[in-house]
Structure 1
Amino acid sequence: MATRSVVFQRIHPGIFYGASLLSGPLVLLLTLFTSPPSGMSVNAWHMFGVANFMALWWIFEVVPLPVTALLPMLLAPSLGLMPIDKVTALYANPTIFLFFGGFMLGLAMERWNLHKRIALHIMLLTGIQANRLIAGFMLATAFLSMWVSNTATSVMMLPIGMSVAAMSTGKDGGNSSFTKALLLAIAYSASIGGLATLIGTPPNALLAAFLEQTYDLHIGFAQWMIIGLPISILMLFACWFWITRFAFKLDNSPNPQAEQLLRKQLKDLGPIAGGEKFIAVIFLLTVCSWVFRPLLSRYIPGLSDTAIALIASFLLFIIPVHARNKEFLMSWTKTKELPWGILLLFGGGLALASLVKSTGLTSWTAEAMSSINGLPVILVVALVVTVIIFLTELTSNTATAAGFLPLMGALAITLGIDPVVLTVPAALAASCAFMMPVATPPNAVIFGAGKLTLGDMMRTGFTLNLVGIILITGIGFLMAGRLFQAL
């Protein structure tokens, strides 16, 4: 997000840009013209320069994040670290196409307003008191974020939330507590919902691809939900409880105007159309296929989560809604809205991880971190989760995950534990930044409505950051090693 770099600009913008632009190349040049530390190979030293080059450009957003993600294609062959054909192959990892299929399904739901219909029905089921309305918005937002991008979900939910809040301001006697609570609930639940599924947020899918590529460990869609869904549910409840009971004082008397507004918006959608019905069927079949893939693969050899996602994508372009007009469930024009940059970020992260391992930088890093070998593992997990959560307040969660996952793998080897014990909590932590508007797209979207101060978001989000640290550390430490075994 381009606004993130503003946080760092405390000097003249031109000087800042020049310094950040040169920072990456200078670090790389330093490694090219100096000798490596003791025990490190020349290739590992050069890769250290490449990794820091990418990290600095990601942190300061010198160029768009996906552009930085392309650097391995340029630098690895030039420095003799990996042939170009092997580097480019990393940008076509199967998990990238799983996420691609998820994006396509989400776009199709948006095209036919199925996501809005689902959200309105969920919100009408929860009740019309302030705390129940907030619960309804959170459930709807979190559920949609499991399947649709959190940015699109928050953009859709914002105007609905603003309309409901406008009807409720009179009930608060002019106090905007309900408005602030509702908007923050939407922003936070958009991030929390994504934790539940592999396609819910980029770090989850990046982790799955990293583990399969590095340790030959495959994490299926249903397997991930065993750990992701409980964390998501507990985080969602904690968020609702904190916002409605402590962070803001709410009037919980019934609000029939809000219910009338939601019913009117549902009525304005009209009766469910053919396109929505087809999308709903494909969506349900896809999710069920992901969940029951281990059973289905007994009868369909070679069936994978990626194959299921691609089959769903093909169906979107094959099934007609109006055959006479040649209108299908999905049009190629709509795919212009697909976040292609995220897919490039995946590729760059996987290329970075592969190069770190193949050059020996992982092994050297593991030896360098041997001094922490005596610390309790759960303390190390807590430190990792804490650092990543607060770091992603200012940096991209995908870029952070891409940089940290190889390091966490090396650190796990040093501690003599399975890499999943550190990498799974690290990936989850990358999506749990709640304090800053620049931390996540949903935070930025909601903050942009102009109803919140930075203090509102930081005060409310800091407590949720702490909750995230506790839940991810506890559940991640207890469950990750038991569910997944990389070694």
Structure 2
Amino acid sequence: MAQVIKERATRLFKVLSEDKEASRRLLWFVISIAVWSGLMLMPTPEALGIQGQRAVALLAAVCIMFATEAIPLPAIGLLIPVYQVMIGGMSTDLVTGWMMSNALLFLMGTLMLVAALSSRGLDKIIALYILTSVGTSVYAVVFGIVAVSALLAGFMSDAAAALMLAPVLGMISIVRDSHDGPVTNLTKLLIFAVGFGAIVGSPYTPAGGARNVIMIDYMQQLADLDIGFAEWTLYMMPFTIIMVGVLTVLLPVIFPPEVEDLRTAVESLRTEVQERPFGLDQAVILVVFAITIVLWLTIGGQFGIGIIAVGAAAVLLVLGVVEWRNYQSDVDWGVLMIYIGAISLGGYTAETGAATWIANSFLDTVRDLGLGEGNLLVMVISFLITGMTSAMSAGATSSVMGPIVLEIGAQAAIPSIVVGLTTALASSFGFMLIVSTPGNAIIYASGYLSASDFIKAGLWAMLSAFAVFLMMLLFYWPLLT
């Protein structure tokens, strides 16, 4: 028996020594467990209590695991509710109530609707049609790419929006082939238009990212605030509209294009649009999608946007224009597992008082610095969220910080809707690092960009986004609250 254990240990050590990524993940997993153990063994703060201490320990370990992907992210999502029941002492009914929420149904439904669009090629048809309708000037094309990317990102993840604009890479290839000299700046300009357009488009509707859905759910659960699809869009739409214009001007300044007319590339894409078939199935999907948006805007508050979303996905199955295997293969079910845990984590930190304790500790610190009230505190929160979203996913940042910042806002008498919207918006400012958003990773994978390009373009884009956010915070949102 001892010999068998020794052989297996030797084999494991050999694998870890050869696989640097596996070694890195194991190291961070051990660190996360060590942090959890240290927090569990520390004397319990009187204001926190043993239940809250267990929640804080889980929160710290989850932050490390989310940021480093020490174990697969869906596994983290599934283990969170297990911990809450078996170690945290929460009742199963309470935990499952946190998990199966309107937010989760909405996320599930929108992922299925996007899968339906892509299964019939509608994503590329829509993207190509709009891109070929804006003209041949490089500045018009940049505007078209940013606007289309932003438009699509309002109803799917930034990664999905970036993937749908993959034909832009074909445009780059055509331009490169038709010019003798290098077109490096033009290449970077068009690719960043795709990626950054998706980033600025993701906040304008609740369907634009899991971060939005999570904050809607938190505002409902923790602040007793119901915000519908139309109201969210009313608050957030100006940011996307203004940033589309800002990026259209800003990106060509950062990367001055070597070519200013893309007639050849645009004509090639127009031919591809004309060759793509459009039949009854595509028409039915578009009609159902349009009706779904109308229902979200009109009766979403009455019946729940989640119920409407999954109902629309079911209707497409009943009509026979989509098959279940399309949903099985094209929906990232792992994302749902992540947010099952993330949403329940928010309820857990609130229920145990952990969110209140962390919020009070944070407020004491910023008050000592004279930043603990009003819009100054909101700006501090936005900086904190932006910093965290650079280290972990936007959805993970919202799930971890949502309950805490809502409690901070409540303690400081700041409207919950302002704090919630700030958290969702600031968590989308992942411009500067490749790892900040999946969309950034996708455009980096094109092979045309470097890490320094992201810093160069991302710094100015992030500063612009903060400036637009500040204007909305000071002048626009007060008109609505």
Task: Report the TM-score when normalising by structure 2.
Answer: 0.89
AA aligned to 1:291 is L
Distance in 1, matches of 2:191 and 2:245, equals 16
| Code of the aligned partner of 2:346 | A
Q: 2:305 matched to 1:305?
A: yes
Question: Partners of 1:480 and 1:34 in 2: how far apart?
Answer: 43
Secondary structure at the aligned position of 1:329 is classed as coil
TM superposition shift of 1:310 = 2.1
Larger CA deviation: 414-423 vs 138-147 = 414-423
What is the Cα deviation at residue 172 of structure 1? 7.9
Helix, strand or coil for the counterpart of 2:269?
Answer: helix
SS in structure 2 opposite 1:199? helix
Q: Deviations over 1:20-50 (max 9, x none)?
A: 1122222222233332124221111121111
Partner Cα separation in structure 2 for residue 456 and residue 365 of structure 1: 37
Q: Residue in 2 aligned with 1:384?
A: 381
Q: Quick one: which amino acid aligns to residue 347 of structure 1?
A: I
Equivalent residue for 1:108, pick from 99, 116, 121? 116
Matched with 2:12 is none
- CA distance 1:17–1:80, change in 2 (3 Å): closer
- Displacement of 1:63 in angstroms is 0.8
Give the Cα–Cα distance (whole angstroms) in 1 for the partners of residues 89 and 394 of structure 2: 27
Corresponding residue number in structure 1 for 2:332: 339
Determine helix, strand or coil for the equivalent of 1:69: helix
For 2:160 and 2:363, how far apart are their aligned partners in 1? 44
Aligned equivalent of 1:43, options 34, 51, 61: 51
The one-letter code of the counterpart of 1:385 is S
Structure with the higher helix share, 1 or 2:
2
SS of 1:249's partner is coil
Task: Identify the residue that residue 325 of structure 1 maps to in structure 2.
Answer: none
Query: For the structure 1 residues 47 and 290, does the alpha-carbon distance in structure 2 shift closer, same or farther, using more than 3 Å as the test?
Result: same
Deviation of residue 87 (structure 1)? 1.0
Residue identity in the other structure for 2:266? E
The equivalent residue for 1:278 is 284
Distance 1:482 1:24 in 2: 44
- Asked if the contact 2:433/2:451 (under 8 Å) is kept, the reply is yes
Post-superposition shift, 1:251? 4.7
Return 39-48 or 202-211, whichever deviates more: 39-48
Give 1:261's aligned residue: 268
Distance 1:129 1:363, change over 3 A: same
Match of 2:199 in 1: 191
Structure 1 pair 14–136 and aligned structure 2 pair: CA distance change class (3 A): closer
Q: How does 1:11-410 map to 2 (within 5 A)?
A: 16-158=24-166, 160-169=167-176, 170-171=178-179, 173-244=181-252, 246-251=253-258, 253-270=260-277, 272-293=278-299, 302-320=302-320, 328-371=321-364, 372-373=366-367, 374-375=370-371, 376-410=373-407
Distance across 2 between alignment mates of 1:370 and 1:165: 50
The separation in 1 between residues aligned to 2:75 and 2:63, in whole angstroms, is 13
Q: 1:13 to 1:104 in 2, by over 3 A?
A: closer
User: How far does residue 73 in structure 1 lie from its aligned partner after superposition?
Assistant: 1.7
Instruction: Say which SS state the counterpart of residue 231 (structure 1) adopts.
Output: helix
1:202 CA drift (Å):
0.9
| In 2: Cα distance, 1:172 partner to 1:47 partner | 61
After superposition, the Cα gap between the structure-2 partners of 1:205 and 1:478, relative to the gap in structure 1 and judged at 3 Å, is farther
Q: Structure 2: which 5+ runs fail to align?
A: 1-18
How large is the Cα RMSD of the aligned pairs? 2.2
Displacement after TM superposition at 1:430 (Å):
1.1
* 2:120–2:282 Cα contact (<8 Å) kept: yes
| Corresponding residue number in structure 1 for 2:415 | 418
Partner of 1:431: 428
CA distance in 2, matches of 1:309, 1:477: 34
Deviation at 1:106, TM superposition (A): 0.9
Distance 2:470 2:104 in 1: 27
Asked if structure 1 preserves the Cα contact closer than 8 Å seen for 2:223 and 2:406, the reply is: no
How far 1:128 sits from its partner (Å)? 0.3
User: Do structure 1's residue 470 and structure 2's residue 467 form an aligned pair?
Assistant: yes
Distance in 2 of aligned mates of 1:269 and 1:361: 54
- Give the number of equivalent residue pairs: 458
Letter in 2 for 1:418: P
Kindly tell me: are residues 257 and 217 of structure 1, through their superposed partners in 2, closer, same or farther at Cα, counting changes over 3 Å?
A: same
Deviates more, 1:80-89 or 1:213-222: 80-89
Q: Is the 8 A contact 2:200 2:240 kept in 1?
A: yes
1:434-453 Cα distance to aligned partner (Å, 9 max, x none): 11221111111111111112
User: Any idea what SS the aligned residue of 2:203 has?
Assistant: helix
CA displacement at 1:482 relative to structure 2: 6.0
Shift in Å, 1:281 = 0.7
Is this contact kept in 1: 2:156–2:209, CA < 8 A? no
Could you tell me which amino acid in structure 2 is paired with residue 144 of structure 1?
Answer: L
Q: CA deviation at 1:363?
A: 2.5
The correspondence of residues 472-487 of structure 1 with structure 2, limited to 5 A, is 472-476=469-473, 478-479=475-476, 483=480
* 8 Å CA contact 1:421, 1:477 repeated in 2: no
In structure 2, the partner of 1:8 is none
Distance in 2 (alpha carbons) for counterparts of 1:457 and 1:370: 33
Cα contact 1:405–1:423 (8 A) shared by 2: yes
Contact 2:183 2:259 in 1 (8 A): no
User: How far apart are 1:13 and its partner, in Å?
Assistant: 5.3
User: What's 1:455 paired with?
Assistant: 452
Instruction: Give the conservation status (yes or no) of the 8 Å contact 2:119–2:326.
Output: no
Deviations 1:243-284 (A, max 9, x none): 02x1011256433212211111101203x2111110111111
CA displacement 1:45-81 (0-9 Å, x = unmatched): 1211111111111111111112112233221222343
Give the whole-Å Cα distance in 2 for the aligned partners of 1:472 and 1:464: 12
Bigger drift between 121-130 and 465-474 goes to 465-474
8 Å contact kept, 2:107–2:207 = yes
